[in-house]
Structure 1
Amino acid sequence: MTEEKTNRFTIRTFGLLLLPIILLAGVIFLFLSTGGGLDLKSAAPVEDLNIERYTLSPSEIEIYVRNAGPEALNISTLIINDAVWPFSVSPSNTIPRLGQGTIHLEYPWVYGEAYGITLFTSNAVAFDVEIPVAFSTPKPSSSTFWSFALIGLYVGVIPVFLGIFWFPALRLLSRRWMIFLMAITAGLLIFLGLDTLIEALENAAHAPGSFQGTGLVGIGAVATFLLLDAISKKESRTGRNESEKRLSLAYMIAIGIGIHNLGEGLAIGAAYNIGEIALGTFLVVGFIIQNITEGLGIIAPVLRDRPDIRSLIWLGLIGGAPAILGAWIGGFSPSPTLATLFLAVGTGAIFEVVYEIAKLIQKDTDKQPMPMTVFSGVLTGMMLLWVTGLLIK
């Protein structure tokens, strides 16, 4: 008999894996210390100051910044509306790489006026901050807390539940109509997924360059897709009946829509945060109209079943309530990096749910194919959101 060699992860294996990394670190150190043999210096300093947000309170302005450049930078001068103005930076005027700083200036700003601020580093590199409308930034308090919660309720929870209220009527439809509604759900989610992806990429452009916003979108979307796919496959091996599997799919649809609604809440909260009241109101009304279709998409997989009231309530809350959280985050501390990550996660979740719905439709149409029903349903779902989107974009 020949003895089979057992493969184990030993200290020797670990050392062999670590050796190339140690050698690579040595090569990098050698290059940085010698300059690769080239005695060259940068003609101009490379500095990148990312303006994350600003807040206004009576006679005060605070600007939150992050150093996205390769080296530490020092903020030396501030000009507001062509006037040099005194300021302070906490924790220090020198901001390390990827470090944050808060610039504070006492300034008698006037409600509704526009202000242009220019920050200069010690190397005379300028960075601009535009305040299109001077407006007292909402501060966390019981009143503003409930105000943003109410906005999220209007945008997410109420329209999603109104869509779920179609459940009794839709259960009376024939099998072909059931397939048509599932295809509409797929179309709705495809449109939502594309819209969420575009929003994620737009937010990524405003995130600090060092955070590699586009890469963050890819990581969030792919990781979420694969994680939900793994969970779905694991659940499919548990021996549950078809009704339970369809209810699980409805929950997954609610999760994907919920993360999307969180992104909508972020956009609305951020609009109110900077004083864009008209834009915020316009977004609220538009999203209310659009999101009633999301309730339809959530209940589509379980129309042939009899889920209890508790399940329907949970589906509505999961799909709509994240808009409240988004309004809080956007209203009190908007962050393009955080928004990018949330929207990326939403993209991955939505497209994974589309994949699950496609498998369910294929299974339901194996014996009686309905290609035109599926085609018209997907197109109808996408057109529904495109038309309602005309009220928002």
Structure 2
Amino acid sequence: MELDEKKSHAKVIASGIIPFAFIILMMAYIFGPGSDLLDLGIPLPEITIEKVDFVDSEIQATVRNTGPIPVEVAMADVNDRIQPAAVEPDRFLERYEVVLVRIPFEWNEAEPYIIGITVEDGTRFEKKIDAAAPALEPTVELAVFFAIIGTYVGIIPVMIGLLWLPFIKKIKKSKYHFFLALTAGLLLFLGIDSIEEAIQVSDESLADSFNGTLLVATITVLSFLGLYYTGEKLVKRSETSRLTKPVAIALMIAIGIGLHNFGEGLAIGAAVGLGSIAFSTFLIVGFALHNTTEGIAIASPMSREKTVIWKLAAMGMIAGSPAIFGAWVGGFVYSPFSSVIFLSIGAGAIFQVIITILKWIRVEGDKNLSSAAVASGFAIGMLIMYATSILV
């Protein structure tokens, strides 16, 4: 009997492996004896100038080979004028390899420049810089500056939003459902905003070979699934631990908002590095108004929990402080690829939190999620975020 079961088990395993074996054989043939099938047409070179830094009397371009064939950097130009250039580590790039092209040039701050790179077959690629700005160098003063800006646009607004807690605690259940739905509406807007920003960054700075839109979709879905699994475990754990369900939900909301604010910090740091943003009082106020609503999202589930100040402070820090770390990363070691990844992760986290909130509303008594309080809260949440986003 046991022998029959082992044979049956082996057949199941074999039936699962055989299709993979045929796939491997097919790929081995295509890239081996059948490689002539892939030689139709002429492969064209393609490089992407991912980043341009202005350092002292030099322009530094980070160049990646994003085409199907190896390339050699032949020369560089600035505003269509050929300039001497050094390529580190060398001029030859395999697919996806990165080099640094250093161009000695007396550039002027705030002036526009077009940086061109030509490969060995004469094909030229360029990147336009609207206004030259000195590359940021990590210093204590600059790190403190980013920390202050991150505090203004991340931590302080969230903490202000948490001040809604006493009001939400005293309202009736129907109005409480309104605020939970309002929270979901706020977060839905943030999720869509994160996806829009990620796609915009991919369109502007990533080569087509990275399939930016599909990359955003893939990372968003994987982030959603991973955090959904984690969130469910956290909520279930709250039933047998000192961590209550409202606190577990508020914690997931804070984590989702924190991931979003990390992406927002990346954008802020990168914008400062490119010299394309002026931090006027109006801009800071716009960010503050926009992000204050994030505090309401955390306060809503926490209103059904015995309030402890340190819990609120911890939630606020989890949600707001990533803006500081994002600003540091964006300002000092910005990468468009990592920016797309983190923005997409933030979007997936936020969508997971929305599902958690809707399930919490059902547990609280609104089984069909179609009451006037829920529908109006969802709509008003999105309208509030849109109205405050205009100020940013």
TM-score in terms of structure 1 length = 0.91
* 1:323-344 deviations in Å (ceiling 9; x for gaps): 1111112112222211111111
8 Å contact 1:213–1:337 — kept in the other structure? no
Map 1:10-159; keep pairs closer than 5 Å.
13=14, 16=18, 19-30=21-32, 32-35=34-37, 42=42, 45-159=43-157
Report deviation, 1:280.
8.1
Q: 1:3 to 1:237 in 2, by over 3 A?
A: farther
Map 1:217-296; keep pairs closer than 5 Å.
217-238=216-237, 239-240=239-240, 244-278=244-278, 283-296=283-296
Report deviation, 1:370.
7.0
Q: Distance in 2 between matches of 1:297 and 1:162?
A: 12
* 1:95-143 deviations in Å (ceiling 9; x for gaps): 1110111110111111222112211111111111212112112111111
Tell me which amino acid in the other structure corresponds to 1:29.
F
Aligned counterpart, 1:161? 159
Tell me which amino acid in the other structure corresponds to 1:217.
V
Q: Distance in 2 between matches of 1:91 and 1:136?
A: 23
Tell me which amino acid in the other structure corresponds to 1:200.
A
8 Å contact 1:243–1:305 — kept in the other structure? no
Q: How many equivalent residue pairs? A: 388
SS at match of 1:256: helix
Q: Distance in 2 between matches of 1:231 and 1:155?
A: 28
8 Å contact 2:51–2:61 — kept in the other structure? yes
8 Å contact 2:76–2:103 — kept in the other structure? no
Structure 2, unmatched stretches of 5+, are none
Report deviation, 1:317.
0.8
Report deviation, 1:164.
1.1
Report deviation, 1:368.
10
SS at match of 1:277: coil
8 Å contact 1:289–1:388 — kept in the other structure? yes
8 Å contact 1:201–1:214 — kept in the other structure? yes
TM-score in terms of structure 2 length = 0.91
Q: RMSD in angstroms over aligned alpha carbons?
A: 2.6
Report deviation, 1:249.
0.6
Report deviation, 1:18.
5.3
Q: 1:188 to 1:41 in 2, by over 3 A?
A: closer
Q: Distance in 1 between matches of 2:156 and 2:219?
A: 28
Which segment drifts farther, 13-22 or 293-302? 13-22
Map 1:312-391; keep pairs closer than 5 Å.
312-366=312-366, 371-391=371-391
Q: 1:108 to 1:283 in 2, by over 3 A?
A: same
Report deviation, 1:2.
9.2
Q: Distance in 1 between matches of 2:367 and 2:128?
A: 61
Q: Distance in 2 between matches of 1:360 and 1:192?
A: 20
